[in-house]
Structure 1
Amino acid sequence: MTQDWTTAPIGADILRGAAELEDTGRGVLPHRLPAWARAQCADPQLAMVEAQPSGVRLAFRTQATAIELDTLPTKRVYVGAPPRPDGVYDLLVDGVLAGQASVAGGTVLRIDMAAGSITTEPGPAGTVRFAGLPGGAKDIELWLPYNESAELIALRTDAPVQAAAARGRKVWLHHGSSISHGSDAASPTGTWPAVAARLGGVDLVNLGLGGSALLDPFTARTMRDTPADRISLKLGINVVNMDLMRLRAFGPAVHGFLDTIRDGHPATPLLVVSPILCPIHEDTPGPTSFDFAALSAGTVRFRAAGDAADRDSGKLTLAVIRDELARIVAQRAPQDANLHYLDGRELYGEADHAELPLPDDLHPDAAAHRRIGERFASRVFSAAGLFGA
């Protein structure tokens, strides 16, 4: 029997978690930074990660029992490293995970870390399909992969769709590094911010930007202009990774970032989170580099390429950054009753590392993502937490 399909337009009314949609002529590409912000930085790393739709999902109400989404993904391949798994699309029905799928093929970014080169290899679009869904009206959320971009070409269902009704939930706006972005989580709803948002009963806007939580002014202005009821910043690790600044510059940069956010959110609860435990950089500055010896053996690992002796000249380590962030929040708190601080080691510390070590010495695995999200929800979103009920 031929199935009757309805094609639904993909617009801002059914897309959550994106700053804007780019019309590509073939479909739409979700961006997590607006065009004016992207124009202020030519870094290809930032361009890649802001277009990876971590936390972005289609949300609609329908009686459909089958859903298809045509997408053109852009995937990463690291020369010499094991193949990366395809990104995962999570389908939630009335808030419960009901299916997962991936798109094979797509455009490939071939990254040669040794040569410092990136080549682009065009590829075909594909389709994710979910069938056998329960009948009757239901709320659908289709979470896009956090680790590959997804140009959305067509959404088809076997019954009409309408934008999901507002649920009255508070909006949580979060910014952080690749860990907040989702690196090495099992799926888009398995990233620690997604886990925390579900447990905390809030709607997530995720500005976790892999390798790019660098106190950029345009990111602060984006957050200033984004409606939010709760805001958090997980700062520090990327500044060390890139050996980007010294202690003299770091403190004023944090103050400036907070000042800019406060320009648009003067009284919104605002949480500063320091880095989770990362032994390679606790007392050793950056930069961070690939461990090419491990890479030659087919394993992705990272190493600290700095010298611990350079701390005396102002180079940053995670221990130094935690002390500075705690000092800054304590300094500002008397004039800002809604500013809070959380030591990241409360989310993932020494005992966690002993049980769930960082597989590549930098990023947590899927189980650690769940633990971090659960602890964040408990310490921040619970009735007794930093943000309260």
Structure 2
Amino acid sequence: MSGWFDIPVSERTVRGAIELEETDSGTLPHRLPRWALEQVGDDRLSMSETQPAGVRIAFRSAATAVEVDVRATRVVYPGLPPRPVGLHDLLVDGRLVAQASAGTATTMSVDMATGRVDTEAGEMATLRFDGLPGRAEDIEVWLPHNETTEIVAIRADAAIEPVDLSGRRRWLHHGSSISQGSNAGSPSLTWPARTATATGVELTNLGFGGNALLDPCVARVMRDTPADLISVEIGINLVNADLMRLRAFGPAVHGFLDTIRDGHPDTPLTVVSSICCPIHEQTPGPGAFDLAALAVGEVRFRATGDPAETSAGKLTLQVIRDRLADIVAQRRRHDPALHHVNGLDLYGPADVAELPLPDALHPDAAGHRRIAERFGALAFGPGGPFAG
């Protein structure tokens, strides 16, 4: 295209991914390697890791216009309210200046009762961002946190150069759908993305919906990923999946942290417990859809366990928070770079009253903002484990 410059899709221009897969038509960012997915064998994790939370196209340019060709894949659940369409956020020197969505997408229709998946192929979509300043600035296009996105091509109407990352610290974070960005307004407004932009760190977000489950392969990926700062959010998925009991939980946490430490023995590492979630504070999982809410077109979740079973080792958020605090205190005797943030200090009971969880599980856009502000202050502020 005359007057336009093709931008190569590579690790120099696509940041926040673990791997870039070359497909027949473009490049698919992955947030976990294939070998890890094969070890877990879970379709939900395989879908979640291709939803590029925290992944962004980044370069420096005096462009006034940028175009990105993408192939999007969206998941729909017949009988449930439609899911939000994925947004692409354009940031200039850290400021959100424009947003766009793919006008067409491949759709995967998942029958919740039978598990059947019907796929309808969609076409490539071109996203165009006009009216940029036309002076040399850092330009980022944050890819959707909630839909699989294959990058076909990138163009700008001026030459580009890589962003200077010298002196920028690398933050590696793992967590649940809350870390991935469920119910956030857009990909640059998830709580990890907000925190990273505000503090000037380079984010790799390994937040996976329903899959912060202490999988050993995820710990090995973190062990082998370069990082200057590391955090892990632990709790909510273990409860709502009803995955393990207290006897297994403690050793699993120790093993997860031990593996990370094999590759990052002295890196500041922060364990973050779950934010307040009233349905699971004292009630074990598994979690389930609230059928009464679905009947009136709303998505809400409920806890189906029996609180009396906590005495037999079933996990609740209160049980996990207490155990995590003990584990961190125990390990800090020989690991002073290990730290703890109580999730209730990020979003507690008073926040639930002021900014209720709209589906009883995930914070809304205002909740993500609050969590980002508080984590930024607690972790990156003076005296915090990630203070500069």
Q: State whether TM-score is above 0.5.
A: yes
Whether 2:32 is the aligned partner of 1:48: answer no
CA distance in 2, matches of 1:359, 1:77: 20
Deviations 1:162-218 (A, max 9, x none): 221224111111000000000000011110001111222211110111111000001
Deviations 1:219-256 (A, max 9, x none): 00000001101100100110111100001111100000
**Superposition deviation, residue 109 in structure 1:** 1.8
Q: For residue 276 of structure 1, give the secondary structure of its aligned residue in structure 2.
A: coil
Please tell me the residue identity of whatever aligns with 1:136.
R
Please tell me the residue identity of whatever aligns with 2:362.
H
Q: For residue 123 of structure 1, give the secondary structure of its aligned residue in structure 2.
A: coil
CA distance in 2, matches of 1:117, 1:272: 37
Q: For residue 76 of structure 1, give the secondary structure of its aligned residue in structure 2.
A: strand
Q: For residue 204 of structure 1, give the secondary structure of its aligned residue in structure 2.
A: strand
Please tell me the residue identity of whatever aligns with 1:34.
P
The answer to whether the 8 A contact 1:200-1:382 is kept is no
CA distance in 1, matches of 2:24, 2:347: 44
In structure 2, the partner of 1:136 is 135
Moved more, 14-23 or 164-173: 164-173
User: Aligned ranges for residues 1-389 of structure 1 at < 5 Å?
Assistant: 4-389=3-388
In the alignment, structure 1 segments of 5+ residues that lack a partner are none
Q: For residue 44 of structure 2, give the secondary structure of its aligned residue in structure 1.
A: helix
Deviations 1:24-47 (A, max 9, x none): 110000000112212212101000
**Superposition deviation, residue 3 in structure 1:** 5.9
The answer to whether the 8 A contact 1:176-1:207 is kept is yes
Q: For residue 183 of structure 2, give the secondary structure of its aligned residue in structure 1.
A: coil
Please tell me the residue identity of whatever aligns with 1:296.
A
Please tell me the residue identity of whatever aligns with 1:31.
H
CA distance in 2, matches of 1:321, 1:88: 34
The answer to whether the 8 A contact 1:172-1:204 is kept is yes
**Superposition deviation, residue 111 in structure 1:** 2.2
CA distance in 1, matches of 2:118, 2:255: 36
The answer to whether the 8 A contact 1:174-1:207 is kept is yes
TM-score (norm 1): 0.97
CA distance in 2, matches of 1:121, 1:295: 25
Q: For residue 21 of structure 2, give the secondary structure of its aligned residue in structure 1.
A: strand
Deviations 1:274-327 (A, max 9, x none): 110000000110001111221122110101011111111111000110011111
Q: For residue 109 of structure 2, give the secondary structure of its aligned residue in structure 1.
A: strand
Q: For residue 98 of structure 2, give the secondary structure of its aligned residue in structure 1.
A: strand
CA distance in 1, matches of 2:341, 2:377: 12
**Shift in CA distance, 296/125, structure 1 to aligned 2, threshold 3 Å:** farther
Deviations 1:51-72 (A, max 9, x none): 0100000111112111110101
Give the RMSD, CA atoms, in angstroms. Answer: 1.2
CA distance in 2, matches of 1:360, 1:115: 24
Please tell me the residue identity of whatever aligns with 1:256.
G
Query: How many residues in Structure 1 have an aligned counterpart in Structure 2?
Result: 388
**Superposition deviation, residue 153 in structure 1:** 0.4
Q: For residue 193 of structure 2, give the secondary structure of its aligned residue in structure 1.
A: helix
In the alignment, structure 2 segments of 5+ residues that lack a partner are none
Q: For residue 255 of structure 1, give the secondary structure of its aligned residue in structure 2.
A: helix
Moved more, 313-322 or 35-44: 35-44
CA distance in 2, matches of 1:334, 1:90: 43
CA distance in 1, matches of 2:55, 2:261: 25
Structure 1 residue runs of 4 or more that deviate by more than 4 Å after TM superposition: none
CA distance in 2, matches of 1:282, 1:104: 41
Q: For residue 118 of structure 2, give the secondary structure of its aligned residue in structure 1.
A: strand
CA distance in 2, matches of 1:333, 1:138: 42
CA distance in 2, matches of 1:360, 1:276: 14
CA distance in 1, matches of 2:313, 2:119: 39
Q: For residue 361 of structure 2, give the secondary structure of its aligned residue in structure 1.
A: coil
**Superposition deviation, residue 102 in structure 1:** 0.7
CA distance in 2, matches of 1:377, 1:310: 36
Deviations 1:353-375 (A, max 9, x none): 00000000000000000000000
CA distance in 1, matches of 2:346, 2:381: 15
**Shift in CA distance, 33/128, structure 1 to aligned 2, threshold 3 Å:** same
Please tell me the residue identity of whatever aligns with 2:360.
D
CA distance in 2, matches of 1:277, 1:19: 30
Please tell me the residue identity of whatever aligns with 1:361.
A
The answer to whether the 8 A contact 1:3-1:158 is kept is no
CA distance in 2, matches of 1:216, 1:300: 28
TM-score (norm 2): 0.98
The answer to whether the 8 A contact 1:80-1:296 is kept is no
